[in-house]
Structure 1
Amino acid sequence: MLRDNPKSAFPAHLRGESLTFHEADIYSTLKINETLFEEEPLLREVLDLLTWSGSAPMSLSLLCASLGQDKPSGLYGALSLGVALRILQQPDGERYAIHRLVREVRREDVPLETRRDWVECCGLRLGDWFEAHRQDFRDLPVFEAGLDHLEAWRHNAERLGFTLLEVRMIWLQAYPAYHWGRYGDAKRGIERALALYDQSAQKDAALQAHLLNDLATVTSRMGNNKVALKLVEQALVIRRELYGEDHSDTAMSLANLAMQYSKLSKHDKALELGQQALVIQRKLFGDEHPDTARSLAYVASYLSKLGEHDKALELGQQALVLSHSCNVG
């Protein structure tokens, strides 16, 4: 009843006798008094975001990012008031959830279709947060704790016809499976996202390159390096057209392409491409950066496979020193 018609789940005629003469129309009771929002305007934004997110508690970091708040302190007043009034629940100091019944009532009162711009803006910000946390395995617990919200906003995007936003949410949901070594699951998720992207009238070349690049990675992990090579080449073409040579994504594609050539025993080509990636990363980031350190290590491995062991040892030692200074695992 809550899903289909919240008002029927809280019928006004079910009135009982109350010592406080409290209104027995539960639906009306659970509605938020507008005067609260005059005291803390951001409380409305917090409630709206949690209303249309998943049911799991949301981290303060994700809350801030989705609402465009640079510092958590900007939300402390609204969150404290919501918790004090029991509208919000706080299972620990860093996560917040909306009361389930209040959530259902607000979904009825604030239809998603009337706030398309807000949905798109919040969805993009939420996606940015997940994208920033997708690659580092150390961020996996935080990423997985928010998956309920990522799926909820995928559903919101689908409901309103924001296809590219939906594609992005599907793509991002493939990362936990990849990190846990479930490459088949990750591959199916990315392929689903890519199929939906191909059907979309709108295009986003940067997103397409991400999809192709990541599909290549999981395909390679599953042992099909020839197919992976073609996918990486497609991603590199797109990124070169978008960004030119001096861009981190172009360097990433060059490094990935080098690895595919090495897996196919074409170590000369791998060395050439790996060195190109290293030059770009040094130019962009300098030596003391994780990407530079990784590329240096890969170039050392290609040299070793070509029999240039002295050079490989020298670069490998440099990469090791940089890895420690950058705290690279």
Structure 2
Amino acid sequence: MAETRLIQGRYQLLDRIGRGGMGEVWRARDESLGRQVAVKCLKPLGPRHENSYLRVLRERFRREARVAASLQHRGVTVVHDFGEHEGVLFLVMELLDGRNLSQLLEDNKQHPLPVPEVAEIADQVGAALAYTHRQGIVHRDLKPANIMRLNDGTVKICDFGIARLGHDIGFTARLTGGGVAMGTPHYMSPEQIAAGSVDHRSDLYSLGCVLYEMATGVPPFDMDDAWSVLVGHRDTAPRPPSELRPELSSPLERVILDLLAKNPDDRPEDAAELVRRVAEARRAEAVLPQVPQPPVRAAEPRLPAWAREMTTGSKAVGTEPPAPVPPDPAAALTGSWTAGTHRPARGGGGTERPPPPATLLTDLTLRQDQALRLCGEGRWSEAGELQRSALAERQRLLGADHPDTLAARHDLAATLGRLGHFDEALREYARTTDGRSRTLGPDHPDTLAARQESAHVLGRLGRHFEAREVYAAVLAARERTQGPDHPATLRCGHNLAFSLGRLGRLEDSYRMALEIAAARCRVLGADHPDTLVTRCEVAHVLALLERRRDALRIYREVAAARSRVLGADHPDTLAARYEAGICLGRLGRAAEALDIFRTLVEDRSRLLGPAHPDTLRARHAVGVNLGRLHRWEEALTEARDVFAIRARVLGADHPETLVSRREVAVGLGWLGRWPDALAVYRDVAQARQRVLGADHPDALASRNDEAHCLEQLGRSAEAVELYRQVAALRHSRITARERSV
């Protein structure tokens, strides 16, 4: 971003003072108030990223802004303003004059801070956390780089960028994708590492790690790789800091060690109790004068053999951001994977698998990153090949049930699903589920995630009854282990409502979708994208129940909310407008529907191109509503144009191409050209039988169209025979479905 950049005609960017995963921080001048401020900008992203990915990043940034702007405490960075300028989201904060704790340690050549300063930091940060926790906000990424000590001695917590509202547990974790725990390895709580339930006591553990480092010069688990650090947090008691810093007072040491308790119940109850205990420790005995000494490094705890040579991260120190490191897969570190030795390979006779070379693991991680980039660019086939080879190598090096192997298998399954290879995707999800059930347990969130994805694939295969069974089982497990209002539970409930609708259980689907929409509104907010998705499902089922006026009202409300939150040109906003147009057409308000669809054609042509499937859907709807207005010559021309483009772009036998082909026949019939219409209807029926099967509902509908056309031509005997064949096929299909149920 250029140094002369002016944001919203008010904030003049002067120089960059920081950079992180979410964006950059600039020193800027507020031209309106004549003061200097800090402006955090979300990194501009290229067009290669999918809209859903961009939406997630923007929603996460907006959440940061809303949360941070609500905080008013001397120990928390003040947020003045936030907004969006030319596609770049920004947050305006007070400009702090001081150094963060990482910089203080570096300035001190990694020697510990004076003990009185450690106690003062504990007191001020504890008071700030007591305030934020009362607001229901958990920071989740407390570390030295996020704590500033100003030149006047004030200590402030910065960057609530991954803060989580206490009543909204799960939202931010979902935004990270893939179930990967957020946070910095040297300061993560055991419950974060295990991807478990996280509350305010996780911040207390992270503060304990910070205070330990300030008091000794090193974090409590100071190994060279992230895996070893994470295993230490989970299974190893920290070395008492007084062994590294003899002059540390016993009461203050007790406070630090209690903060580092593995079980959240064994830590101080809340930050207010921490502040009280720090005050007692400061009163209990005079703190001895600090004599700077080189820190003594803690002995490395006993770790699994497979973890000792893995290198993926470093602690947060220094003024410049650390070099990029591969994504940390630590969220899967649970259960037997933190035992004393690495599991043997299958068929290995129970012998310990030698630790894989770090260079091979690094190469695998880089290949996995490359595959993710290919996915982001829509190059799914190339990504799948890369993921398949990386999976085979991980299985050879680490074993079939290693968390990394299972995560790679999960990613491959997702890619196969995007490619439409649903049978293969289902097999890979089943293998992932089996492996995670053995190593993590059947109710672990990662295991449930794989089961839930398998249900989605079953639905794509048309196996809706099986999908419903899986969704129902996963929902029961999530309610039992994560609670009924956890976002993952609500997501599963949404999927179950969808599945019920596809099974024709419309009343059940409606009731469940309505319940999930209300819960998501309560937990996530009325305008949250997930809430709006479920409201769309409510509207969809209402339309199927012939309650189209109610459906229209909801679609319009969703379109307005999405326009407000995501923007008028966002694909989800346009999709809600499209559904509103469908409702209008079916309510007999074809002129209003025609106006909506023509505007949609213009917007989608501008944003996506004239031959994009979504643009063509809007053009098809234009033709349909021209027909409803009895403008059949125009409708026939539109149908033929859309059919020709779809045949070229999607293929002659694609379902949407055949829908347009049928619309041509409808227009010909209304214009009295029944022989031409019959030829087209027969082409469509034959194609659908060939592609979908003779008893598929769409194929049967086409045979009915053909019979109706024969009647119009006075060929009643042929029409009756065709109706009879259709009735027999439909009866056979219904009987077969009832037997399967």
Provide the TM-score with structure 2 as the length reference: 0.31
Measured after TM superposition, the shift of residue 168 of structure 1 is: 3.2
Residue of structure 1 equivalent to 2:584: 177
3-state SS in 1 of match to 2:567: helix
Residue of 130, 137, 149 corresponding to 2:544: 137
Amino acid at match of 1:248: P
CA distance in 1, matches of 2:593, 2:605: 18
Q: Conserved in 1, the CA contact under 8 Å of 2:169 and 2:486?
A: no
In the TM superposition, 1:160-239 aligns within 5 A as 162=570, 164-200=571-607, 202=609, 205-239=612-646
Residue of 80, 97, 100 corresponding to 2:520: 97
**Larger deviation: 71-80 or 250-259?**
71-80
CA distance in 2, matches of 1:280, 1:293: 12
Q: Conserved in 2, the CA contact under 8 Å of 1:225 and 1:263?
A: yes
Residue of structure 2 equivalent to 1:286: 693
Residue of structure 2 equivalent to 1:42: 170
Measured after TM superposition, the shift of residue 295 of structure 1 is: 0.7
Q: Residue deviations 1:181-221, cap 9 Å, x none? A: 32223222212211222333645521122111111112111
Tell whether 2:710 aligns with 1:306: no
Q: Which has the higher strand share?
A: 2
Tell whether 2:680 aligns with 1:257: no
Q: Which has the higher helix share?
A: 1
**Residues 228 and 26 of structure 1: is their aligned pair in 2 closer, same or farther, counting only changes over 3 Å?**
farther
Amino acid at match of 2:615: Q
Tell whether 2:138 aligns with 1:33: yes
Q: Conserved in 2, the CA contact under 8 Å of 1:277 and 1:295?
A: yes
Residue of structure 2 equivalent to 1:60: none
Q: Residue deviations 1:121-161, cap 9 Å, x none? A: x79x959x86x9599734867966863445423444426x5
Measured after TM superposition, the shift of residue 277 of structure 1 is: 0.2
Tell whether 2:208 aligns with 1:80: no
Identity %: 15
Q: Conserved in 2, the CA contact under 8 Å of 1:300 and 1:312?
A: yes
**Residues 146 and 309 of structure 1: is their aligned pair in 2 closer, same or farther, counting only changes over 3 Å?**
same
Q: Conserved in 2, the CA contact under 8 Å of 1:174 and 1:190?
A: yes
Measured after TM superposition, the shift of residue 303 of structure 1 is: 1.1
**Larger deviation: 260-269 or 286-295?**
286-295
**Residues 215 and 294 of structure 1: is their aligned pair in 2 closer, same or farther, counting only changes over 3 Å?**
same
**Residues 157 and 29 of structure 1: is their aligned pair in 2 closer, same or farther, counting only changes over 3 Å?**
same
Q: Conserved in 1, the CA contact under 8 Å of 2:610 and 2:616?
A: no
**Residues 230 and 284 of structure 1: is their aligned pair in 2 closer, same or farther, counting only changes over 3 Å?**
same
Q: Conserved in 1, the CA contact under 8 Å of 2:646 and 2:656?
A: yes
CA distance in 2, matches of 1:192, 1:78: 44
3-state SS in 1 of match to 2:520: strand
Measured after TM superposition, the shift of residue 278 of structure 1 is: 0.2
Q: Residue deviations 1:25-75, cap 9 Å, x none? A: 99985453246789x973436799xxxxxxxxxxxxxxx9xx989447366
Residue of 300, 312, 315 corresponding to 2:722: 315
**Residues 229 and 41 of structure 1: is their aligned pair in 2 closer, same or farther, counting only changes over 3 Å?**
same
Q: Conserved in 2, the CA contact under 8 Å of 1:133 and 1:139?
A: no
Amino acid at match of 1:215: V
3-state SS in 1 of match to 2:641: helix
Q: Conserved in 1, the CA contact under 8 Å of 2:567 and 2:573?
A: yes
Aligned residues: 269
CA distance in 1, matches of 2:514, 2:574: 32
Amino acid at match of 2:669: S
Larger radius of gyration between Structure 1 and Structure 2 = 2
Q: Conserved in 2, the CA contact under 8 Å of 1:170 and 1:192?
A: no
CA distance in 2, matches of 1:249, 1:136: 21
Q: Conserved in 2, the CA contact under 8 Å of 1:43 and 1:79?
A: no
What RMSD in Å do the two structures reach over aligned CA positions?
Answer: 4.7
**Residues 154 and 238 of structure 1: is their aligned pair in 2 closer, same or farther, counting only changes over 3 Å?**
farther
Q: Conserved in 1, the CA contact under 8 Å of 2:646 and 2:657?
A: yes
Measured after TM superposition, the shift of residue 224 of structure 1 is: 1.0
Q: Conserved in 2, the CA contact under 8 Å of 1:137 and 1:179?
A: no
CA distance in 2, matches of 1:248, 1:319: 20
Q: Conserved in 2, the CA contact under 8 Å of 1:134 and 1:175?
A: no
Residue of 152, 158, 166 corresponding to 2:567: 158
Measured after TM superposition, the shift of residue 326 of structure 1 is: 5.7
**Residues 324 and 176 of structure 1: is their aligned pair in 2 closer, same or farther, counting only changes over 3 Å?**
farther
Q: Residue deviations 1:282-301, cap 9 Å, x none? A: 01111222111111111111
Amino acid at match of 1:211: A
Amino acid at match of 1:80: P
**Residues 197 and 98 of structure 1: is their aligned pair in 2 closer, same or farther, counting only changes over 3 Å?**
closer
**Residues 177 and 91 of structure 1: is their aligned pair in 2 closer, same or farther, counting only changes over 3 Å?**
closer
Q: Conserved in 2, the CA contact under 8 Å of 1:167 and 1:193?
A: yes
**Residues 280 and 91 of structure 1: is their aligned pair in 2 closer, same or farther, counting only changes over 3 Å?**
closer
Amino acid at match of 2:170: L
